[in-house]
Amino acid sequence: MSSRFVSRYSRRQFLKTSLAALSSTSLAGCGWTLAEVRSDRPQTSNSNELRIYTWSNYIDETLLKEFTAQTGVRVIADTYDSNDVMLATFQAGKGVAYSVVYPSDYAIAKMLDLKLLAALDKSRISGLENILGKFQNSIYDPGNRHHVPVSWGTTGLIYNSEKLNPAPEDWDYLWQNRNTLSRKMTLLSEPREVLGASLRAQGFSYNTTNPAELRKAYEKLADLKPAIATFTTDAWRDQLLAGDLLLAMGYSIDGVLVAQENPNMKYVVPKSGSSLWTDAMVIPKTAPNPEAAYAWINYMLQPAVAAQVTERLFFATPNQAAFDQLSTDLRDNQALFPPDSVVERCENLKPLPQKSEELIEKYWTKLTSS
């Protein structure tokens, strides 16, 4: 399988990869060691196996094989297509197999509320100083006590520039061009993102707790619903490339990926603003192999590894030392690494009070089931 096999998949597409253990040989000249493997509690699983739960675009066969070559630890990577699916897995008690998980920012806040995450022993982690300052102290996990940022990006519109003229510039484009886009556009399957886009289109914040503003966001989306082909975070990609869709709401990493296959596919961050997301590595309290989890986190923080993975899989690393090793073309790719002028009009998704979360869930259920 090619080292770029993930380029055929979207960020949120299901993929299950299982690799046989390789010989424990080190990478020549890496000048780097894994975290000390020591046990603070009895192991409940094979110490030579690590199970990871992640998004598909963060994993490829080369990455897993090289980790196994360094450590002798066999990796099994399962993937999910939304934070809600990941959270439901843990709430159903089915997440106990995983020692490393890759939730998005607001999902980390939910996992903390549910007391699912272990506090990190930072004395066992090398390379945290390379994480950019703006990702060092998150609003959802102060002091980054439970997570290590691994990727970041924006949410926007991915479209066929050959078929859409004028091109989309803002969220209102969806409503203004609903006839052209009818049944040829998709929105994400993430409630906070979709309701948030409607909120920003009306001048409200992604993080509003105002019931009247949330109601207006739902009503505006309900008005657009007949023109929406589906709500999906992954299945749009092949349809967009085939010409069956004209536009998809998606993540910056997906915008870069589809442009690799067809340069006519463009990605735009709406002018009125969008979300600024971060995905991270965490260790669940129920992790069966925390020793291997620390080894994985240290491996991913190695600048050469982080840079190589970004070059292969096209996600934005928050690791400054890794960024400095990227090719000029990738560093200058504004879809992947947007300028400050774009970042300034984006919002992080903040944890919301339970009452607001319940209202969003109510509107989401009505929107997607009607």
Residue ranges of the annotated binding site for spermidine are 106
> DSSP alpha helices (H): ranges in the chain?
61-71, 83-91, 105-113, 173-176, 178-181, 191-201, 211-224, 236-242, 252-261, 290-301, 303-313, 320-323, 328-331, 340-343, 354-369
Three-state DSSP at 248 gives strand
Beta strand 228-231 with 185-187 is parallel
Name the strands in the sheet holding 100-101, side by side, starting at the edge strand that comes first in the sequence. 16-18, 74-79, 49-54, 100-101
Give every CB contact of residue 61 below 8 A, 6+ residues apart in sequence. Answer: 1, 3, 5, 17, 19
Determine the Cα–Cα distance for residues 115 and 125; give it in Å rounded to an integer.
22
| Look-up of token digits 């096999």 | 5
Give every CB contact of residue 365 below 8 A, 6+ residues apart in sequence. Answer: none
Q: Which amino acid is at 46?
A: N
Give every CB contact of residue 127 below 8 A, 6+ residues apart in sequence. Answer: 298, 301, 302, 303, 319, 321
Contacts 24+ apart (CB under 8 A), 136-144: 138/105, 138/108, 138/278, 138/348, 139/348, 139/350, 139/351, 140/105, 140/106, 140/108, 140/109, 140/112, 140/348, 140/350, 140/351, 141/108, 141/109, 141/112, 144/120
